[in-house]
Chains A and B, each alone.
Chain A
Amino acid sequence: MSRRPKDPLLVDVEGHAECLLGNEAIVRGALEAGLAFASGYPGTPSSEISDSFARLAGSAKLVFEYSINEKIALETAFGASLAGARAMCAMKHLGLMYAGDPLSTIPYIGPVGGLVIVSAGDPSCRTSPNEQDQRLLAPMLHIPVLDPSTPEEAYRMAIFAFDLSEQSRLPVLLRPTTRVCHSRAVIRYGRLRSPVVTGFVRDPLRFVPIPANARRLRIELGKKVETARRLIESSAFVSATGGGELAILASGAPAATCADLLEELNLTDKLRLVTLGAVYPLPEEKLLALLDGVRRVLVVEELSPFVEDALGALLKHRGLSLELLGKRSGHLPVEFEYTPEIIQRAIQTGLGLGREVPKQPSFQLAPARPPSLCPGCPHRPAQFALRAVFGDEGLYFNDIGCYTLGYGPPLNTADALLSMGAAFTLAAGVARVTGRRTVGIMGDSTFFHSGMPALLEAVRQDADIVAVVLDNHVTGMTGFQESPTVERIGDEFRRNVTISSVAKVLGASHVETVDPYDLPATIAAFERARAAQGVSVVVCERTCPVHLARETKAPRPTTVYQVDPLRCRICSREECGMRCGQEVDLGFESFMARGRVLEIDKSAGNLPGQAPCSLSCPLGLCIQGYIGHIASGNYQAALEEIVRRVPLPESVCRVCHRPCEAACVRTAVDEPLAVNDLKRFVVDWAAKNMPAYDPERDDPCGMRVAIVGAGPSGLAAAHDLCLRGYAVTLYDAEEKPGGILRYGIPGYRLPGQALDRDIDRIINLGVRFEGNRRMGRDFSCASLLEQGFQAVYLALGAGHGLPLEIEGAGAAGNPEMVDALDFLRQIESRSVPSRVVVVGGGNAAMDAARSARRLGAGKVVVAYRRDRDEMPAIADEIDASLSEGVELATRLVPVRLEPGRLVCLRTEPGETDASGRRRPVPIEGSEIELPADLVIAAIGQRPEFEEPGFDQTPGGLVQVENIFLQTSNERVFAGGDLVPGERTVTSAVACGQRAGWAIDRRLRGEQIADRRPPPPPPGDGRRWTRPGIDRADHLPRVRPEELAGEKRLEGFDEVVSVLSEGQARAEASRCLSCGTCGNCRACLDLFGCPAFFEKDGLAAIDPGLCNGCGVCAELCPNGAIHSVVAPGMEPGS
């Protein structure tokens, strides 16, 4: 049976050599001194001390604990000391301050068994928020301090310190710095000594420092310090080499550097090097003896001029003169670690010895390689989720641990940091004076160290904070020391304390625990926390994967993740040539990533494609794009996307029929996004903030195009052709351009000023507008072509109402009958009687009805032959008209006019007709009389177009080929309401753009025309489904203010107002970002997992670094990341 090799620190052979770290050497020294108890709290650069004790405790018959914090570590060690056990307590410099209270009283009481406190210093703040010279505590608290310069010296000091402590009855501070802690040197062993515990012997006059006892103990302190001084004077830790009148007095790590430097500079014999290892109490006699004959001394020590000042005071007190150089004389810096160069320079300038430090040539700067959270670290998704919820406006208070690496991009979750546990207290302090809800972030070990009282205080004060505890079951940053939450017993992990229970016991009522790998759940928990008041506690719990791998010895994941280069940065509108190529900012990427995370049930395999809203949009807008920019506060980018595709933004954002909203997937959750209101917000912002419209235009091509009809379609075509470099003449029968936008849609829907802004923008491109020119009367297609126009676009619209042919029309004494379009055209100059009936169910009917109300009609009834839900008018228009007092009478068909009334018959649904609706069948004998003095007919519209040579439908519409809008005359194109198809403003605008492209294609060929592609024919976005989406949080749709009921009828002022900025951003964040994006770098910009890199402009993952956590796949907006078997893990490999 082979014996397990002994731990190198436990070899009990005199003279055995090991190459030990300074920290390990200290442990060895303590064991050789018969250490019985050790405690500590991890803290760089001291952690290896406690780690070694932890490893050895069983074999070395040592009682050891990783204490919850340094105060407890010190107090417990002192308890052991009072019971006659030699005790050691280890921590970093900050920890000593934490243990300050007991530290200040221990010297009064004094140890029984020797007590050695090791507090490691960190000059240059390599791993700390400050550097401190703990030696300065010595005179304040009457504690001897040993300052080792090498690992070997630290070993001998550890042994000596216990005797020093017991004989002087004072605790001893052993203070190595990073250079000593983390350097290795050959240590030759002595023999181990078994620990001895003499037991607790009562001594209340000494052990209980009530004030009377304390005062007596205070007087004894002086003698104790003198005892320590004598022991130090006779120790080996004050020594000198060399000789002469010039000297260096050095303590700590710099003493070793000096020794090496003097050898290299051949100065070992030319001056005296006095090494002071025990710096308090100062061994005055020995020191002065060693400096006898010296006329100038350079004091070399790091941090404060502690020894320098003590020597200066000593010299003054003794009346000795000796030139003293050091920090006070400016020869050495006060801050940071001393490199050999710094000391060499001081020797040369202060002592005139040695040589100048050669000037460093300048070198190419190597890019920084800062530490980062490991791949798969749960702190990354936790802090990503925090940022996704609280955004740029959040105030994040961070703490000490691995998660501190959330500072800076990409996670940006540290606005301030102070000390262990201060995340909650800082957060509370800020919250209490500003009234803002703040966020505090700390780890599990930190929570137990000092976060608990902070949480208790926050609860007591009902502070408005979100207290986040990142529980990864280990103290990771300092080297995976155990944490109170989970303990390893043999091969099992056992839970000890759950943080959520502690939080509840401390009085927090809103406490949740989530798994940070479950990003949607984590985001949802933070959203609930953000919405709450008072203290909310969210515990993000998942074992550190590195710790888990180390413990379970299963280092390689079997599944890793991969980026599909065909989906990464792919624009779903690439094929129609509409990739925007815009730069996106972090807010936009966060918006997309968040939307993707919230898509519930990604397992259903429903990958993002083209968003249903964009799919439905006749103009092919990237709606997700501009909504994302609004969410991110980048209104200019939103405007760019809108203006790119919408030549009449003011009009469209008011009167569009919004197929996008009908297709929005949020309809399954709460309400669709207010897409058009958001568009209006941007357009309104632009009108106030943006300079004049100056789009990129092609050079003039010398060709001319005539457009007949200055309605939405004609205007859009004019705009498009101008950008393409054509000279455009725009004709219209009316005096001003606008078509149905001006003469059909009333001002309360589309104010004249807004329309004029749209039209001026287009005319100012150089369009020649000729009003009062009617096709047929003033010109014809043929005449236009003869005049030299290379092409003609017909956009006359369908501006004539279908006549209502019923009995009694036009007869004297009967109610006036007027066509709705004529009525609307005459709005400004006409009056209405008090009783009006509007026949019809489309937008023209609604416009007429609502206008009639504004003109003073007391009773306006809309009579429609089918049911309400079959009315073709925009639903919001119907709602608005009803709220304005219009009455709706359904299932009525007019039959004749009689004095003062319109007689109708009731109908019932019959067979289904071509439109898919059931034909209304009049019911014999069911006559109804509607009182009326004016009847407005809004039963349909048709064009008036009588040019010869064109194929037309029976209804007068001009037949065109779908894609190229070409009529039967190859140089004449037509679109909008003039041709068969959807009768909406937006699709008319789309037609105009398509016509511009088609004409350009015809005249200059594909290559040139396709540089400005037309909007794609819209698909039916309503067929899009999103499984499981009904589990998303319900958020109501934000609605803009509207004019109050009574005010509306006072005139034709615009009814619907614009969203405020706050409303717009809130509404924009409801968007789930359903489509893919070609501009995304969310994984690199927001997540920052070090397994990611960029390759050929796309994201990629190094399978050797990937941990397989899969969180990146949750947030990739394009769904481009998926799991694969890790290389080398395939079955059979």
Chain B
Amino acid sequence: MSAARLKLLVVGVGGQGVLTAARLLGEAAMKAGLDVSVGQLHGMSQRGGAVECSVIIGGAKSSYVAAGQADIVLALEPLEALRALPMMSKRTRVVVNLGKIVPYSLAIQGKDYPSIAGILAGVEETASRPYTIDGSGLTEQVGLPRALNVVMLGALAGLGLLPFADEILWQTIEKKIPERFAAANRNAFELGRGATEGKQG
């Protein structure tokens, strides 16, 4: 496989900002002079369905990530991390936000959401010990309930695997937010980075 290609998956629930996160990553890679392909198949996502985006940094023509081929999985929701298990292999690094969103279909059937500890164990078995993020705690800390995707992008930066500087990613984010929220978003980014930088899963 081409050494330059980094295959990321961003997964979550419609409305969490998954598409935006993938798009920002693509733009950051482009800004850094790299070729990038972002796959964001959507249509019914905003009606609370599952969302999966792919970001392939470095010269891919298609935006497919085949089974077992993800280098990094950013999961904004635990059940979506479980759903993404087939995309992982031993080399995959995984960041999981622990805040769960129960699918309404489970709620109305009175069935249980799978145990988060079980999901994390599954990720560890298939890939590696995941980094966990207390998304709602951190966004509450910065006072921005909708900044989960920025926290997760910070966590991604902290992994140290991106082929470009963290600042480029931050600048791409900053361009997209109103100035009055810039400082709080920067905090969110930093908190996310702090959760993974220099740490084991």
Interface residues of A (CB under 8 A from B): 17-19, 21, 44-45, 126-127, 149-150, 178-179, 182-186, 253, 255-257, 259-260, 263-264, 339-341, 344, 358, 360-361, 363-364, 366-374, 402, 405, 409-410, 477-478, 546, 1081, 1084-1085, 1088-1090, 1092-1094, 1104
Contacts and interface: CB of A to CB of B under 8 A. Distances in A.
A410 B110 CA distance: 13
A1082 B1 CA distance: 54
B79 interface: yes
A347 to B, nearest CB: 13
B47 A374 contact: yes
Contacts of B103: 367-370
Contact of B39 (A179, A370, A1081): A179
Kindly list the 4 A-B residue pairs having the minimum CB-CB distance in the complex, ordered from nearest. A371-B47, A371-B49, A256-B61, A256-B62
Contacts of A185: 35-38
A770 to B, nearest CB: 53
Given A179-B62, A257-B62, A339-B64, A1094 B45 contact: no
A186 B61 contact: no
B30 interface: yes
Contacts of A253: 62
A250 to B, nearest CB: 11
Contacts of B79: 366-367, 369
A184 B40 contact: yes
A186 B43 contact: no
A369 B49 contact: yes
B194 interface: no
A366 B82 contact: yes
Interface of B: 1-2, 13-14, 23, 26-27, 29-30, 35-50, 60-64, 66-69, 79-80, 82-83, 85-86, 102-108, 110-111, 113-114, 118, 122, 126, 145
24 contacts: A17-B30, A19-B27, A19-B29, A19-B36, A19-B38, A126-B43, A127-B44, A149-B62, A184-B37, A184-B39, A185-B38, A186-B36, A339-B67, A340-B64, A360-B68, A364-B114, A364-B118, A366-B83, A367-B114, A369-B83, A371-B49, A372-B48, A1088-B108, A1090-B107
Contacts of B1: 263-264
Nearest to B45: A371
Contacts of A45: 41, 43
A410 B69 CA distance: 38
Contacts of A126: 41, 43
A923 B110 CA distance: 74
Contact of B108 (A150, A256, A409, A478): A409
A363 B67 CA distance: 12
A1092 B41 contact: no
A369 B13 contact: yes
Contacts of A369: 13, 48-50, 79-80, 83, 103, 105
A341 B106 CA distance: 31
Given A360-B86, A366-B114, A19 B23 contact: yes
B107 to A, nearest CB: 5
A341 B85 contact: no
B16 to A, nearest CB: 12
Contact of B47 (A256, A366, A368, A405): A405
A361 B122 CA distance: 12
Contact of B82 (A184, A344, A364): A364
A997 B49 CA distance: 55
Contacts of B45: 371
A515 to B, nearest CB: 22
Contacts of A370: 49, 103, 105
B165 to A, nearest CB: 18
Contact of A1094 (B13, B60, B110): B110
Contact of B2 (A18, A19, A263, A366): A263
Contacts of A256: 61-62
A1084 B103 CA distance: 12
Nearest to B105: A370
A465 B30 CA distance: 56
Contacts of A149: 61-62
A923 to B, nearest CB: 72
B105 A150 contact: no
A343 to B, nearest CB: 10
B20 to A, nearest CB: 12
A1084 B110 contact: yes
B66 A341 contact: yes
B68 to A, nearest CB: 7
B62 A1088 contact: no
Nearest to A1090: B104
Contacts of A341: 66-67
A9 to B, nearest CB: 14
Contacts of A1104: 145
A1084 B64 contact: no
Given A150-B61, A182-B39, A1092 B126 contact: no
